[in-house]
Chain A
Amino acid sequence: MTSLLRAELLKLRTTRTFAALVGAALALSLIVVVLTASLGNDWSAQNTRNLFTSNFTGLFILLLGVMGMAGEWRHRTISATILAAPNRLRLLTAKTLSYAAAGALLSLIVTLTIMLVGTIILAGRGIDTAPLSDLADVLWRDLVVAALLGALGVGIGAVLRNQVVAIIAVLVLGFVLEPALYGLVPEVGRYGPTVIAPSAIVDVSPFGESADETLLSPAPAVLVMLGWIALFFAAAAVRLRSRDLV
């Protein structure tokens, strides 16, 4: 399993897609933090904390997971991948864990960077940054969300297989369906896997305000995310193990 994990992480590092998505996540997060820290006026404790949740890693690692798995079919490399690692369940597990690890690492880099930059800008304006305990709290939540979304992306990619369809499905789900469902029926919408449950873990509203009461608490939200991952993993495992690769 260790070799498979190392190989999957090496695969991630050796394509331009990874570098591009990491760069995009970092750039987008920095733009938001720089603009907010430079132009914002209301620096309540909650708003200061929220500044450092402007981490866009989640979306990108979700897409990266989708592309990493569905890309095996898009580039027709799935046969060669399974030849190298014939146990399909172990392969799927390794991919899931490696994208979770990559998500956590990516989030660590982005979160630390935006915390550093945001703190410098706030300090330059004579504004107190969030206390260290708040920063640590934001950091672990971001890491957990990114890890869970990386794993979820692999499951979605393995179930749908068509990379374009999978990316569109994730974007529609995250930007249209989940927010709409949460707005209409929050008791149901709060279980959404790509935006709403992750927002609950980070403890901010998916619409940029403080967390409201309809969101799940962080621990149940983590369990909900794990449930979604388990569901997609199981479906992907059944599909991957039962299908002929012709």
Chain B
Amino acid sequence: MAPVEVRDLTKRFGRVVAVDNLSFDIRSGRVTGFLGPNGAGKSTTLRALLGLVRPTSGTATFGGRRYEELERPSTKVGAVLEDAAFHPGRTARNHLRVLAVTGDHPLERIDAVLADVGLTQDADRRVGGYSMGMRQRLGIASALLGDPEVLILDEPTNGLDPPGIAWMRALVREQAARGRAVLVSSHLLAEVAQSVDDVVVISRGVLRGQGTLEAVLGGDEGLSTIVHAQDNERLARALEAAGHPVKPDGEALLVPGVSPEQVGVVAGDAGIYLVGLAPRARSLEQAFFALTGDATS
């Protein structure tokens, strides 16, 4: 049984369908990117998984049990939500003390997780004076306090500076290396692409793809060629006759799944002069946009 299973999950808010019949699993020892544009339903899915939002139908479970059914849930699941907030008048150490007492965790864990996230020096400062990055680190420390099997991070790089983003990437890799199942949601593919093994892509609440990063976003067409000939119509006929369908691309032609060399050979054999010839690999972003149908995110 997968550590996290989402099955036929649907959540409606009035007439709005935030999540529509969504199913996916995440695995231990791997980082899964939960990707989609803003408003895709990622946070709603995570909140349904964590028992904060009641599904209209379907299930979201950890090892087959709903979050609220888990005994000592903080030992099974650690989560940092997008709007992770803390009482501004409480110090980081006291915040963790409250969580340690609630979850029956040994108080020694507090110093350990503070060290893990690099907050030891600032542990006795009130959280109201923390930067966004420090709050994210405290959120991670809170999630790690119970040494959980599953780590869920909702948009963890929001508000982080480049060193903070690099730190976060290293942290999620390290957590997966320790055998944890890590689920990281983001609307920015570039910020998680370097650290995820698997991806689950959703848009408008609907699953658009899931599997390894390469399988889902590596580009199902592989290398493509963009070619511009003196006579595009003739070249298109020649390429199609050679078994290479083409698509118009402005003043040029796009030949999916075919290298420039192959296109050049076809054009040469047909005696067609080429004005331009170049490879075009589909980027991760383009694949992401193609899947989500949203080029604006």
Contact = CB atoms under 8 A, between A and B. Distances in A.
Interface residues of A, number: 25
Contacts of B51: 82-83, 86
Given A75-B85, A77-B87, A245-B52, A10 B94 contact: yes
A80 B102 CA distance: 12
B97 interface: yes
Given A10-B97, A246-B44, A84 B103 contact: yes
Contacts of B81: 79-80, 83
A10 B98 CA distance: 6
B32 interface: no
Q: Most chain-B Cβ atoms within 10 A of its Cβ — which of A11, A15, A83?
A: A83
Nearest to B94: A14
A71 interface: yes
A15 B47 contact: no
Nearest to A17: B89
Q: Classify the interface of chain A: helix, strand, loop or mixed.
A: helix
A76 interface: yes
Interface in A204-231: none
B90 A86 contact: no
Nearest to A245: B52
A77 B73 CA distance: 17
B47 A7 contact: no
A79 B67 CA distance: 13
B85 A77 contact: yes
B88 A75 contact: yes
A102 to B, nearest CB: 15
Contact of B47 (A4, A85, A86, A244): A244
A3 B71 CA distance: 13
Interface in B77-91: 79, 81, 83-91
Interface in B22-79: 43-44, 47, 50-54, 67-68, 70, 73-74, 79
B210 interface: no
Nearest to B101: A7
Interface string A1-34: 0011011001100111100000000000000000
A14 B53 CA distance: 29
A83 B99 CA distance: 10
A76 B87 CA distance: 8
A80 B84 contact: yes
A44 interface: no
Interface in A71-102: 71, 75-77, 79-80, 82-87
B101 A14 contact: no
Given A75-B85, A83-B50, A86-B67, 4 more contacts: A15-B89, A75-B86, A77-B86, A79-B47
Sorted nearest first, the 8 A-B pairs with minimum C-beta distance are A76-B85, A86-B68, A14-B94, A7-B102, A245-B52, A7-B101, A244-B53, A15-B89
20 contacts: A3-B103, A7-B98, A7-B99, A10-B97, A11-B98, A14-B91, A14-B94, A15-B89, A76-B83, A77-B86, A79-B85, A80-B85, A83-B51, A84-B73, A84-B99, A84-B102, A84-B103, A86-B51, A244-B47, A246-B13
